[in-house]
Structure 1
Amino acid sequence: MSNRAGLPVAVVHRWLGRLPVSIIYLRDFREIAGGVGFPSLGPDRATSVEGLKQLTSDIGARRIYTYGNSAGAFPALHYGLNVGARAVLCMAGPTTLTREFNEDMPTFGKTLSRGPAEVPEYAVDMRPLYAAAENPPKVLFVYGTGFPRDRRWAENMGGLPSVQLVPIEGLAEHNVVVPSITSGIFPGLLSRFIALGED
């Protein structure tokens, strides 16, 4: 979800396309982290959730997974919870859009600033929502320990029974997809992700 996958979609699809799943790619060309939905699914967020549910039903999906990288982590968590996903894979990125949590964040990007400004009700913290959910998606959250912003966002979800944090020790950059691929751990992460939804 969002407007980036950590690599060009055609490249990352070399790995995602090998999974035993049907894939729906969503891009937020308005760059507000899915805050007003996706026009191909509906005119607003609520109808986009229903549109995504209908689309997954139409293709005969038995389980739903969501994947988000960078700014796409938040909509992956948000939409994943609202469509009843079995598992969510976040490759770094925000877990809360609340001003209180993020106001002192360095380089808090345009995408994540515009969403809360234009859609204030979307500026929520996913931790209490996942904590309160009866059967939340299982979350695999990958982040670099040397990148303070991502570490704080990851630790915001830490300790929840449905969340597994995957720290990449010493990584001091936001993009965790490329290092995961070059180090050889990316296929294993995808396998863990799929297995989470099968439990």
Structure 2
Amino acid sequence: MDSTEHTKKKRPASQVDKGAMVTETLNSARQYLKSGRVADADALIATLESKRWGGLKTMRMRAAVQKALSQKLEHGQTLKRIAEDENRAPSDLFRLAAYLIDNGDVEGSRAVAAPLEGRTDSQHLLLNLAYLEGLRSADLDIVRTALFGLLELDVPPPNLPELHIVLRELPKRDQDVLADAIKTKWPDRAADTADGSAARQTTIPQQHAATLAAAGKVSEGQELLATGREADEELRQALALIPPVEARLRPSIEDDGASVIVSPAGSSGTTLMVFTGLADQAMVPIECIDAFCAAEGHSVIYLRDTSRSLFIGGVPALASDYLSSLASLRAMVEELGTTRLLCFGSSAGGGAAIRYGLGLSASGILCASGVTCGRPEFLEEHTDQRARVVIRRLQRSFVTAELDLYEEVAANGGRTPIRLCFGTGSSTDVAHANYLEGLPGVSLNPLEGLNRHGSFSRMMLEGIFQEFIADG
């Protein structure tokens, strides 16, 4: 028998070329997604789809693009088609199950994940789903058990949204044990274990870049953002607007991670009170905000919510309740010689800026993607799944009226103007802003084309923040 009969037949050149082209195109699309160039990734996948090339691999990349574009319905439909394919992988079932959890269909998620039960190669996927399910139901026992289980396995960092929030909600002993294990096993997630914002700033490129720019090293900060990502490019442009050190009329603050930081007194008579979000920043490091205020000669009071109560129960470092905290803040404002008080809050700090701003009779309030209502029915209606473990605790700890700003804003009668900024493509932020629409003194400032929660960079680029703090 001729030896060539035992030689494996080579694929036709056209098939080799096609396979190589699919691989190259998918790799390019993956890189585009990683760098934030979603439109370019979308175009590449559309090319493969038009040729009906790539099969499941192309469908998986299509699902990733849809997720990046916030196309929830289409994303779910694609994940379902993939999961129904006979050549699906366990990870395909995981992605669909995770999608269903995120959209409130826990029973559907369990049904999808059922084939993974008992498989040794899927144990980490089931534990990851348990984490996500526990996060949605705000069951810290489930979340804790899932985390410890994942850390016992030899797996890469799994899908663990809001890990830094979860760790802070756990008992101190569990925090310490998990933090040490995460730093060792998943060093890429070490920033989530950092105790305090200062440590997180040095590990998150965007935060580090902004901190450098605030210190006068704008070019150095911008270099860190040369990724091609849309969000990074927007921040890179915004950093160029930060006033240089020599233009500032008072010394800048140094963020040591304290819960209350008061700047040196300015000369303008204006004081800005800043309420940070759950990440202990105002979407940018507070040094960035301070640079703008120092250039105007304003004083600033920076507040962090170490109790993770959205400041509803007071400012922890000042008092144990709202009214006592209000009195302490009023005294601080007077000590700075304030003739005009402004309040600013981002994300979870937005609601606090409104509540305390009204209580202190501020001259103006500005919110960046602020939270305005924490009622369970409101969050369910608008599928706001953020920080569920925190929100569920607050719903148990405070009466419903304390979670809702509507009546307080209405009672103010428009005496204090409130400006709400939000991205038009971020549905939860749109819902929170619309909740107060029409009330006296409330103005909505939609940021067109912005499809993410982080809105402060856009507010800088459009001059909204600068206009807010400018002397009237």
Would you say the 8 A contact 2:292–2:466 is kept in 1?
Answer: no
Counterpart of 1:119?
Answer: 398
Aligned-partner Cα distance in 2 for 1:62–1:158:
29
> Which of 180, 183, 189 is 2:464 aligned to?
189
More helix by share: 2
Check conservation: 1:35, 1:122, Cα contact below 8 A: no
Q: What is the Cα deviation at residue 124 of structure 1? A: 3.4
- Give the C-alpha shift of residue 120 in structure 1: 2.6
Q: Between the two structures, name the one with larger relative contact order (CA 8 Å, sep ≥ 6).
A: 1
Q: Tell me what 2:194 maps to.
A: none
Question: How does 1:59-98 map onto structure 2 within 5 Å?
Answer: 59-98=336-375
Structure 2 residue aligned with 1:108: 386
Distance 1:7 1:145 in 2: 20
**In structure 1, how many angstroms separate the alpha carbons of the residues matched to 2:281 and 2:353?**
12
Residue 28 of structure 1: how far off its partner (Å): 0.4
**Which residue number in structure 1 is paired with residue 31 of structure 2?**
none
List 4+ stretches of structure 1 deviating above 3 A: 110-114, 121-124
CA contact (8 A) 1:67 1:76 kept: yes
Deviation at 1:115, TM superposition (A): 2.8
Residue identity in the other structure for 1:168: L
What pairs up with 1:132-171 in 2 under 5 angstroms?
Answer: 132-134=411-413, 136-171=415-450
Of 3, 21, 37, the residue aligned with 2:314 is 37
Contact 1:69–1:92 (CA under 8 A) maintained in structure 2: yes
String of CA shifts for 1:48-82, please: whole Å, max 9, x gaps: 01111111112211121110001000100111111
Q: TM-score normalized by structure 2? A: 0.38
2:303 corresponding residue in structure 1 = 26
Cα deviation, residue 26, structure 1: 0.4
Following the alignment from structure 1 to structure 2, what is the Cα–Cα distance between the partners of residues 11 and 122? 34
Range with greater deviation from structure 2 (123-132 or 76-85): 123-132
Q: Which residue of 2 aligns with 1:179?
A: 458
CA contact (8 A) 1:37 1:45 kept: yes
The alpha-carbon distance between structure 1 residues 63 and 149, as it changes in their structure 2 partners (threshold 3 A), is same
Specify every segment of 5 or more residues in structure 2 that has no aligned partner in the other structure, as ranges: 1-274
| Amino acid in structure 2 at the alignment position of 1:82 | G
Unpaired segments ≥5 residues, structure 1: none
**What amino acid is aligned across from residue 384 of structure 2 in structure 1?**
P
TM-score, normalization by structure 1: 0.86
For 1:40 and 1:29, the matched residues in 2 are separated by: 8
- RMSD (Å) for aligned C-alpha atoms: 2.1
Q: Contact 1:93 / 1:150 at 8 angstroms: preserved in 2?
A: yes
Between structure 1 and structure 2, the one with the greater Rg is 2
Q: Which moved more, 1:129-138 or 1:77-86?
A: 129-138
C-alpha contact (below 8 Å) 1:97/1:122 kept by paired residues: no
The residue type paired with residue 88 of structure 1 is I
Q: How high is the sequence identity, in percent, across the aligned residues? A: 28
Task: State the distance in 2 between where 1:116 and 1:4 align.
Answer: 24
